[in-house]
Copies of this chain bind each other. A is one copy, B any other.
Amino acid sequence: MDVFHWHITDSHSFPLLVPSELDLAAKGSYGPDMLYTPDDVNKIVQFGLDHGVRIIPEMTHPVSKTHTGSWAEAYPDIVTCANMFWWPAGSMWEDRLASEPGTGHLNPLNPKTYQVLERVINDVATLFPEPFYHAGADEIIPGCWKADPAIQSFLSNGGTLSQLLEIFVNSTFPYIVSLNRTVVYWEDVILDGNIKVPTTALPPEHTILQTWNNGPENTKKIVSSGYRVIVSSLNFYYLDSGHSDFLGNDSHKEEANLVLGGEVALWSEQADPTVLDARIWPRTSAMAETLWSGNWDETGKKRYAEAIDRLNEWRYRMVRRCIGAKPIQPLWCIRNPGMCNTIHPFA
């Protein structure tokens, strides 16, 4: 595992002390005792390099749900639907405002948005030698943009959400590219989710997409787009990563050829040393199986069963090596291979 994808900021907290935008961390972090200073970053980057691990920073900004709330602590004027929550309750996902913690999207119609963004992007590019810059950008919610008066009038005057997307993307891409950084984005930026993505808002071809949730339809779109992908496991288990279409086997050569690599994700808003090893090593093992062996057998069927037996046994090997991976199945299942792999009727 030679790349550490560091999801540095989120709506909960903006812990990175950005030299040219000190307010973001001063007001958006959990507190002065929970900051990463440039010196901290240098130490982390150097430690990674010393151990053969590249560190890709993610500043999840362009258009993301629940990911820019912390920016609003310093700059409420550039974040739409800041501190608004799931209300209106019962409304459809695309009409909702945001998730808790209260958050929002950066406002594509506010020039200040881009002034702040460029300083942040520039500082982060300076802090991280890595030629890749992860710009996040998943899960846009139109309802959040629609909560903003300026955007409301833009839309009521014939503007469209797709145009907002186009304005935003084309206002941020060039700057990142001008810093000789290859942009990594979540697949959402090219997929028609809550907003139709105009071809004029598509990222440059050398952009890399991180896939996390694609089904057959999205897979087709991503493959035809020709972007290279990083396959990531968000929260999967039992080899069911939800990205099987990208996990190489003979029947999916075309997809497999686009895969630059894979990632095992652990989101940290509810993870810390009390659960880190328990959670990350079982899913890492499952992802390794999936990436190295593919998750189909020769007949094209997913081969959960025999893989689960191996993973379960492997988990006990990890524990014997003092890696506190949590149990995947009862020990009984190891003593009785193949007997625990039926789907539980309550599942």
Please list the residues of chain A having a beta carbon within 8 angstroms of any beta carbon in chain B.
11-13, 30, 85-86, 89, 93, 96, 99-102, 269-275, 277-278, 319, 324-333, 335-336, 339-340, 342, 344-345
Contacts and interface: CB of A to CB of B under 8 A. Distances in A.
A79 to B, nearest CB: 16
A327 B278 CA distance: 13
A2 B277 CA distance: 31
15 contacts: A85-B342, A100-B339, A100-B340, A101-B332, A101-B333, A101-B336, A269-B330, A269-B332, A270-B328, A270-B329, A273-B324, A274-B325, A274-B326, A275-B326, A278-B278
Contacts of A332: 11-13, 30, 101, 269
A275 B272 contact: no
Nearest to A93: B345
Q: Is the interface of A mostly helix, strand, loop or mixed?
A: loop
A136 B278 CA distance: 31
A238 to B, nearest CB: 14
A327 B12 CA distance: 15
A345 B93 CA distance: 8
A148 B130 CA distance: 67
- 8 A-B pairs with the lowest CB-CB distances in the bound complex, closest first: A12-B332, A269-B330, A274-B324, A270-B327, A101-B332, A275-B326, A274-B278, A274-B326
A86 B342 contact: yes
Nearest to A328: B270
Given A272-B319, A275-B327, 15 more contacts: A11-B332, A12-B331, A30-B332, A85-B342, A86-B342, A86-B344, A89-B342, A100-B340, A100-B342, A101-B339, A102-B339, A270-B326, A270-B329, A274-B277, A275-B275
A274 B101 contact: no
Contacts of A12: 330-332
Contacts of A272: 319, 327
Contacts of A324: 273-274
B85 A339 contact: yes
A219 to B, nearest CB: 22
A60 B96 CA distance: 49
Contacts of A319: 272, 274
Given A100-B340, A271-B327, A335 B30 contact: yes
A340 B269 CA distance: 13
A66 B271 CA distance: 33
A330 B99 CA distance: 13
